[in-house]
Structure 1
């Protein structure tokens, strides 16, 4: 059962950057992080990552890139507020693998579906909380600025 829970508030600029990254990497899955100040729950810094798997059905952060990112966020008093990736052939809903790899209980997990798009078509942009295997979809509110 899908429960509509809290809300992700994100700027139009960040929303556009995530969607653009998903479209650019299509037909492979795109992935990345939006960092924000620790404890603020406010996504601010867009960090596109390389999909080390280079796959249309799976994404994987490069372990060295991820270690570097976490050290950098720690130095800047940031945390991952949004962890995003795209689905290239299915709807924007967490797969079993996505749920298994969801290790940040405080993060918003954003999925963008680029299925059946040519860069100009419709796409899905959805946000979820994934805590201990439980998926909760949340509303996405797009603002011009915080």
Structure 2
């Protein structure tokens, strides 16, 4: 199960809506080994595409250096789908390289960047196997929710 606080949920949804019709992408970092999604890091979709996302390689390298220095790791890897459901595509599955991460997909297909609900789902993707998991949005994270 992915447990995130309301502010993190809101930040991911806001990023997805703001970038629509281009797919948004980013990472939520947390302390190594904690499974605590604490720090939203919006990334640039280097592909600039409504159907595909790609992290900028230079930006990603700098991010991993920063995570290493802060003893953090990617707890959540997120991106949006602008015209399809929030389910990993074959490309998404093939690019999933963080076996410990939660892969969050936000579909903005219904309302785009306008007011209205989004589809927000989380998955574990390990060796090509996709498993959907429950998402629990809490007011704030406590030590017992790590």
TM norm structure 2: 0.95
Per-residue Cα deviation, 1:36-63 (whole angstroms, up to 9, x for no partner): 0000000001100000000000000000
Partner residue of 1:97 out of 80, 91, 105: 91
Matched, 1:67 2:52: no
Matches within 5 A, 1:22-37: 22-37=16-31
Alignment partner, residue 132 of structure 1? 127
Matches within 5 A, 1:1-146: 7-118=1-112, 119-146=114-141
Which is richer in strand?
A: 1
Residues of 2 paired with 1:91 and 1:123: CA distance?
Answer: 10
TM norm structure 1: 0.95
Structure 2: tracts of 5 or more residues without a match = 142-146
Residues of 2 paired with 1:145 and 1:120: CA distance?
Answer: 24
RMSD value over aligned CA atoms?
A: 0.6
Number of residue pairs matched by the alignment: 140
Structure 1: tracts of 5 or more residues without a match = 1-6
Moved >3 Å (runs of 4+): none
